């Protein structure tokens, strides 16, 4: 899950992990920027470098979370190829880990993507995937292609050996149809612009794009068309306000004096709606499924997160947003799609 800063990557990633866990699935939500955004969202204490269950979804599904820490991941990684044991701590004292995670080219990003892919590929004793889905709260759009493509670079640098092989294996997962890079955006010019640029970059890098998720969508309260003639009808509006008990409609009366500022707010709203319409059109022109999530006007909180998950789940399997569809119809469609997918 990528997107411009502040558009809701963390929130939507969490909602998606919840949605995908619906009906008894198990998902892993990973965070890579060391900000403890997941812990804040789920209102738990900071996550350690350890996969732990943070939520259950409808139908007994489970969401696990992991805050990947580059330094710990490096030690893991060395452990994976080489039994290092306490030598790892010695290395830390030597400043080697600092070197590796801050100076070495992209090693940080290698470790982060590598760890996520490890979770994707992990199997249980019966060779079934441990997680049905892994959702990553990824870096923002400006860095995403480079971040996900880092292993390619590494595979080019380390031409032989396990690192080379490992890098290639990660790249294979990231470029396979198993991966989808979703982009979260708002209906605002710059986020949409960054989304469009991001899609281009991902495509150029051969990384699979998923859906565009338009977040924090406000329901239009007042059609722009209503406002076209509003300016000529200030008298009628003032009388309507008066009728509704807001004071006098004559000049200088309470109701009359509300007309101008409220019309101005209406005009601003109409401008917004018009702008949003254009931006929505641009997003739909990207040849990707577009989903929409409503603005929770009281902020997200846990209950809101579940609501977003339900909203998302309703749209996920239908391929695209069906604005007019009823809730029940949507859920049904989703279940069907999910069933046919499993079959």
Q: Which residues pair with 129 in a beta bridge?
A: 123
Out of other proteins, Mg ion, ligand ATP, none, which partner does residue 200 contact, by CB within 5 to 8 A per kind? none
Please give the helix or strand (H or E) that residue 328 lies within, else none: helix 327-342
Out of other proteins, ligand ATP, Mg ion, none, which partner does residue 215 contact, by CB within 5 to 8 A per kind? ligand ATP
Least distance from C-beta 301 to Mg ion, angstroms?
A: 16
Binder among 293, 309, 312, 316 for ligand ATP (CB under 6 A): 293
Q: Interface with ligand ATP includes 7 (CB under 6 A)?
A: yes
Pick the closer one to other proteins by CB: 120 or 249: 249
Residue nearest Mg ion by beta-carbon distance: 10
Q: Do 119 and 131 contact (CB within 8 A), yes or no? A: yes
Angstrom distance (rounded) from CA 202 to CA 189? 20
Tokens read off for 57: 């979804």
Binder among 166, 215, 286, 315 for ligand ATP (CB under 6 A): 215
Q: Do 151 and 170 contact (CB within 8 A), yes or no? A: yes
Per CB under 8 A, which of residues 258..287 are in contact with other proteins?
Answer: 258, 260-266, 268-269, 271-272, 275
Per CB under 8 A, which of residues 212..251 are in contact with other proteins?
Answer: 218-223, 226-227, 230, 233, 236-237, 239-250
DSSP state, residue 120: H
Q: Which residues pair with 186 in a beta bridge?
A: none
Q: What's phi and psi for 184, nearest 5 deg?
A: -95, 135
Binder among 132, 153, 178, 188 for ligand ATP (CB under 6 A): 188
Tokens read off for 10: 């963390």
- Which residue is associated with the tokens 């004071």? 247
DSSP, collapsed to helix, strand or coil, labels residue 130 as coil
Pick the closer one to ligand ATP by CB: 169 or 300: 300
Binder among 227, 300, 331, 337 for ligand ATP (CB under 6 A): 300
Tokens read off for 96: 């080697």
- Which residue is associated with the tokens 């949409």? 192
Pick the closer one to Mg ion by CB: 9 or 182: 9
Least distance from C-beta 318 to ligand ATP, angstroms?
A: 19
Angstrom distance (rounded) from CA 109 to CA 210? 21
Closest CA to 68 of 23, 111, 131: 111
Q: Interface with ligand ATP includes 303 (CB under 6 A)?
A: no
Pick the closer one to other proteins by CB: 55 or 216: 216
Which residues of the chain form contacts with Mg ion (CB under 5 A)? 9-10, 37
Which residues of the chain form contacts with ligand ATP (CB under 6 A)? 3-11, 37, 140, 188-190, 215-216, 293, 295-296, 299-300, 308
């Amino acid at each position: 899950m990528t997107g411009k800063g502040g558009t809701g990557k963390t929130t939507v990633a969490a909602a998606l992990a919840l949605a995908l866990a619906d009906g008894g699935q198990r998902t892993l939500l990973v965070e890579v920027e060391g900000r403890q955004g997941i812990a804040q969202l789920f209102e738990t204490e900071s996550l350690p470098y350890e996969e732990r269950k943070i939520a259950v979804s409808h139908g007994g599904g489970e969401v696990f979370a992991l805050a990947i820490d580059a330094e710990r991941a490096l030690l893991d990684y060395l452990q994976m190829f080489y039994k290092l044991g306490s030598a790892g701590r010695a290395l830390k004292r030597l400043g080697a880990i600092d070197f590796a995670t801050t100076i070495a080219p992209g090693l940080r990003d290698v470790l982060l993507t590598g760890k996520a892919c490890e979770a994707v590929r992990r199997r249980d004793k019966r060779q079934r995937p441990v997680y049905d889905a892994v959702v990553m709260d990824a870096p923002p759009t400006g860095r995403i292609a480079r971040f996900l493509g880092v292993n390619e670079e590494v595979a080019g640098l380390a031409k032989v050996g396990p690192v080379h092989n490992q890098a290639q294996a990660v790249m294979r997962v990231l470029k396979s149809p198993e991966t989808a890079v979703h982009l979260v955006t708002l209906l605002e010019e710059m986020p949409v612009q960054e989304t469009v640029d991001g899609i281009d970059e991902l495509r150029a890098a051969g990384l699979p794009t998923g859906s565009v998720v338009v977040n924090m969508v406000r329901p239009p309260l007042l059609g722009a068309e209503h406002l076209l003639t509003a300016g000529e009808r200030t008298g009628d509006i003032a009388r309507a306000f008066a009728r509704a008990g807001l004071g006098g409609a004559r000049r200088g009366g309470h109701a009359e004096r509300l007309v101008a500022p409220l019309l101005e707010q209406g005009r601003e709203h109409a401008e917004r709606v018009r702008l949003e319409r254009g931006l929505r059109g641009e997003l739909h022109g990207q040849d990707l499924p577009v989903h929409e999530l409503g603005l929770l006007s009281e902020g997200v909180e846990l209950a809101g997160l579940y609501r977003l998950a339900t909203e998302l789940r309703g749209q996920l399997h239908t391929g695209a947003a069906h604005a007019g569809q009823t809730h029940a119809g949507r859920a049904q469609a989703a279940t069907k799609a999910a069933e046919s997918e499993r079959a």
